[in-house]
Amino acid sequence: MKTIQKIVFFSLFLFAFKIYGQDYPLGPDSQKQAGVPEGKLSKHFWHSPSYDNYREYYVYVPAQYTGKEPAALMIFQDGHAYVDSWKTPVVFDNLIHQGQMPVTIGLFITPGHQTEELPENRFRASNRANEYDEMDDRYVSMLLNEIIPELEKNYRISEDRKMHAICGLSSGAICAFTAAWQRPDYFHKVLSHIGSFTNIRGGHDYPFLIRKSAKKDIKIFMQDGSNDLNNIYGDWYISNLQMASALKFKDYELKTEWGIGGHDGKHGTAILPESLVWLWSDVVEKN
């Protein structure tokens, strides 16, 4: 009897362990490796004329960048999180060193705030919803007309749209998709983590827009978990499944990873290296 009780207890422990999304350990590509050249990360402050607000952004430049050849570009919304807890610069270092990614400059942007004194929690920036959850071209225009030209003053960026990727989590993920949807002439690749394709600002309409619209040349990786949010704005997991279904219906180049996590970055962080390898695989294969 005691043996049966132990088995039941252990099974319940494993179930609870998975439910709370804690079974997503980081692999070696998310950790610093001996002999891998480290890129440089710099922090900047920006006043946006189009929004009349303020934000920080970080620029990652890989050690392999010399300026002789143009680099790929990948932009991250909620960039503070991707720099810190997601360990993205370390992942870039490892994958670029392995030849699994092109030489890629990372642009990590925080959401805009109405004053120069930014909130300690950058997710609480006053203009985050206005920038990330809207489905128009205002935010991507800010990227293309303000911040990317500022970046290009110091670095050579490839003009090939297949060398441009954009990423985000939660509202930052729908923002990334909107940027590519509005400007597929510039952004080819999208990485979406726990995307808010829900009715915050009409994002729940995307599956229907995708089905009704002409296919756009966008390559997208989507991640979410079955214990994601479920509130007045919608069910995040179901919304992501509906997005994936619509993208498959229109034969988009798509890869999905569904787990059992909640509205956090545990799963996405753990699979970030393999997500990036898949996203850039078409470019690496050509080289």
* DSSP code string of 142-182: HIIIIIHHHHHTTS-B---GGGEEEEEETHHHHHHHHHHHH
Rounded to whole angstroms, how far apart are CA atoms 146 and 60? 18
Q: What percent of the chain has pLDDT over 70?
A: 91
What is the predicted pLDDT for the residue at 168? Answer: 98
Residue in this structure with the two tokens 């043996």, named with its chain if needed? 3
pLDDT band at 16 (very low <50, low <70, confident <90, very high): very low
pLDDT, mean of residues 249-267: 98
The pLDDT of residue 5: 53
Average pLDDT, the chain: 93
**Average pLDDT rounded to a whole number, residues 121-126:** 97
| pLDDT score of 286 | 54
Surface-to-core class of residue 10, CB atoms within 10 Å of its CB (0-12 exposed, 13-18 middle, 19+ buried): exposed
Query: Strand, helix or coil at 38?
Result: coil
Q: Is residue 18 very low, low, confident or very high in pLDDT (cuts 50, 70, 90)?
A: very low
Residues 6+ apart with CB under 8 A from 146: 46, 48, 49, 50
| 232 SS3 class | coil
Give the pLDDT confidence score for residue 224 in this predicted structure.
Answer: 98
Statement: residue 13 has pLDDT above 50: no
List the structure tokens of 75: 């932009």
Q: Which of these, 219, 220, 228, 223, lies nearest to 258 by C-alpha position?
A: 223
Burial environment of residue 175 by CB neighbours within 10 A (0 to 12, 13 to 18, 19 or more): buried
The CATH code of domain 26-286 reads 3.40.50.1820
Q: Are 198 and 110 in contact (CB under 8 A)?
A: no
pLDDT in tens, 96-114: 999 999 999 999 999 999 9
What's the pLDDT score for residue 2?
54
Query: Tell me: the pLDDT tens digits for 23-68?
Result: 899 999 999 999 999 999 999 999 999 999 999 999 999 999 999 9
24-42: b or e for each residue (b if 16 or more CB lie within 10 Å)? bebeebbeeeeebeebeee
Sheet strands (E) in the chain: 40-48, 53-61, 72-77, 104-109, 164-169, 189-193, 219-225, 230-231, 234-235, 253-259
pLDDT at 9 over 60: no
pLDDT confidence of residue 20: 45
